[in-house]
Chains A and B, each alone.
Chain A
Amino acid sequence: MDRILEILRGIDDSIDYEREEALIDGGLLDSFGVITLVAELEEAFDITIEAAEMTPANFNSAGAIREMVERLQEN
């Protein structure tokens, strides 16, 4: 989780990622932020994120991102 929070803060450090639950739905993270995040997650966790994963539900909070990362690591 700490690594995910570190990556997120590297993209935009003005957001309280530990509490925020609507990063995408609330428009806090734009599409450029999302593709930067995906590239960083792939490198940090050695996973491949496919276009099918690009749903707001997977990126709306740090917790949702962690769940997606863990699921992809298991696969």
Chain B
Amino acid sequence: MSYDAVLYIFVFLPVCLAVYQLTPEKSRWKALLIFSLAFHFLLSRGLLLCLIGTSLLTYYTGICLEWLRSEEKLELSGADRTEKRRLKQKYQRRRKRILALGVIILLAILAYLKYYNFFVRSVDLLPGWLSLPLSLEEKQLIMPVGISFYTLQAIGYMADVYWGRISPERDPGRMTLFLSFFPQIMEGPICRYSDTAGTLFKGEPVSYQNLVDGYVRIFWGLFKKKIIADRLAVPVAVIFDNYTEYGGMLIAVGAVAYTIQLYMEFSGCMDIIIGSGRMFGICLPENFRQPFCARSASEFWRRWHITLGTWFKTYIFYPVSMSGIVKRWNQFGRKHLGKYMTQLGVAAAALFPVWVCNGLWHGARWSYIFYGMYYFVLILAGEAVKPLRDKALAAFRIREDAVWLRCVQIARTWVIIFTGELFFRADGLRAGLHMFWSMFEEFGISRLWDGTLFTLGVGRADLAAVAVGCIIVAVVGHMKEKDKNIPQRLAAAPLPVRWGAYYALILAVIIFAAYGDGYQAVDMIYAGF
């Protein structure tokens, strides 16, 4: 059952809402928990135990960390200054060990299920003299749905308790709900406990406004997914599955079409997920903020899959940049290399693990690792040339907010994004490199209008629907970028205008969605990660 399925939107969700509303306020989170576990069971069957195990491990790690903290407090009272320092170090070491144990167990489960076969295949590629004295064979491994998402949430929770940012959850059931809440289990967003726990356990009654806002957001998501993404899935598959038959302009079209498909699909699913949460009065964090308005690769990643980027920044980038080894480098560099090189070294040391993990998180493929390294190099290069760029802007008296400069920067970022997504979607790194180089052979811009596009499995009507859909999404995005709150404005609009807009959205989805003869339901891309 995917989030865009009729079964989810018109059966599962309403039944859950009804049961939730009929349950006494204090126990409403229990209704959500039961539906969340049922939802996960429908998708993963027995692997539900993996999720429950993760929840219990996360819960007990939090409790254990808190217990150590209270023990420390007890021992500290009455101790002198020297003794206090010793006790603090002792308990810090203990807490660190508990955190490490919890994180290692979670990562070991994820690594085994997600990366074992990749490891075996990579070992096989090693030359004979480097091969390990191990006899490893690939295994049939099935991953629980959402493991990449809930594992990150669990690690984030443990780290937050370790750092003392949050108090641990006292109820294992609530912990399980935090990790398994059904609208977000398949595709995120990757929530932090401090952001969602408040509304998740509150048991807010279902209200008319939340229902309307929720369903409008869901239909907006369906608009993006069904009208645009599912239509683009056809030519994208044709080009990427038969990449040796295409070159030049058509490969570029494939890269652009896939980028749009991925955005419409992933952000559309986020709209459905956030809309589902809204109906229960639960605020889930936004995952996209007009990513195609970004002026650089690093800004793009602050606007695209925001919760993943925030997770990497909070739990990898900052801890690495503040680790002992990086601090020692900082001291050494400032004395011997100067501020610029030292900061560049710190940025490289902190960014490298972030982008290796980003690549690997998306899947066990070399092309994903390449994708991570691609952004690592680009973002680091952006930081490296920043002083030079600032000097050049000052020398030529160019204003940072000049419209033409903004347009050039956005266009450059689009090229970076499209190229990255080409490698991301390609069937392996070799295929990605082949496609990339083939773009520069006989580019043939005339293929855009000589009818070649219609050989890719789409007709004029499809392209028209995609084009109009993209324009509407772009206009809405532009309004959001200008700080215009569209749901709020609609809610304040006169009744005929408001319901006219709602019905237009619903009818657009019903009439123009890609289904019927010749179409197959398209799986959600991020659910596969």
B343 contacts across to A, CB distance below 8 A = 32, 35-36, 39
Min Cβ gap B140→A in Å is: 39
Within 8 A of B (CB), among A1-34: 14, 27, 30-32, 34
Q: Is the CB of A35 within 8 A of B346?
A: yes
Within the assembled complex, what's the spacing in Å between the Cα atoms of A27 and B346?
21
CB contact under 8 A between A43 and B163, given known A31-B313, A35-B318: no
Q: Is the CB of A27 within 8 A of B322?
A: no
Within 8 A of A (CB), among B205-219: none
Min Cβ gap A42→B in Å is: 8
Q: Is the CB of A35 within 8 A of B321?
A: yes
Q: Is chain A's binding surface mostly helix, strand, loop or mixed?
A: helix
Q: Is the CB of A32 within 8 A of B330?
A: no
Q: Is chain B's binding surface mostly helix, strand, loop or mixed?
A: helix
Q: Is the CB of B319 within 8 A of A35?
A: no
B319 contacts across to A, CB distance below 8 A = 51
A43 contacts across to B, CB distance below 8 A = 334
The chain A residue with its CB closest to the CB of B164 is A52
Within the assembled complex, what's the spacing in Å between the Cα atoms of A30 and B163?
22
The chain B residue with its CB closest to the CB of A39 is B330
Interface flag for A69 (CB, 8 Å): no
The chain B residue with its CB closest to the CB of A10 is B339
Min Cβ gap A49→B in Å is: 7
Give the residue of A27, A35, A52 whose beta carbon is less than 8 angstroms from that of B163: A52
Q: Is the CB of B165 within 8 A of A35?
A: no
Min Cβ gap B333→A in Å is: 10
Interface flag for A65 (CB, 8 Å): no
Within 8 A of A (CB), among B309-337: 313-314, 317-319, 321-322, 327, 330, 334
The chain B residue with its CB closest to the CB of A40 is B339
CB contact under 8 A between A35 and B334, given known A27-B302, A51-B163, A52-B165: no
Q: Is the CB of B318 within 8 A of A54?
A: yes
A52 contacts across to B, CB distance below 8 A = 162-165
- A32, A42, A50 pick with most chain B CB within 10 angstroms: A32
Give the residue of A31, A36, A42 whose beta carbon is less than 8 angstroms from that of B318: A31
Bitwise, B345-374 to A at CB < 8 A (1) or not (0) is: 011001000000000000000000000000
Q: Is the CB of B165 within 8 A of A55?
A: yes
A42 contacts across to B, CB distance below 8 A = 327
Q: Is the CB of B322 within 8 A of A51?
A: yes
Q: Is the CB of B330 within 8 A of A51?
A: no
Q: Is the CB of A50 within 8 A of B302?
A: no
Interface flag for B298 (CB, 8 Å): yes
Within the assembled complex, what's the spacing in Å between the Cα atoms of A31 and B343?
12
Interface flag for A38 (CB, 8 Å): yes
Give the residue of A30, A38, A55 whose beta carbon is less than 8 angstroms from that of B322: A38
The chain A residue with its CB closest to the CB of B315 is A51
- A27, A31, A36, A50 pick with most chain B CB within 10 angstroms: A31
B318 contacts across to A, CB distance below 8 A = 31, 34-35, 51, 54
Interface flag for B462 (CB, 8 Å): no
Min Cβ gap B302→A in Å is: 7
21 A-B contacts, Cβ less than 8 Å apart? A14-B400, A30-B302, A31-B313, A34-B318, A35-B321, A35-B322, A35-B346, A35-B347, A38-B321, A38-B322, A39-B346, A43-B334, A50-B163, A50-B322, A51-B319, A51-B322, A52-B162, A52-B163, A52-B164, A54-B322, A55-B165
Sorted nearest first, the 7 A-B pairs with minimum C-beta distance are: A52-B163, A51-B319, A54-B318, A35-B321, A51-B322, A51-B318, A39-B330
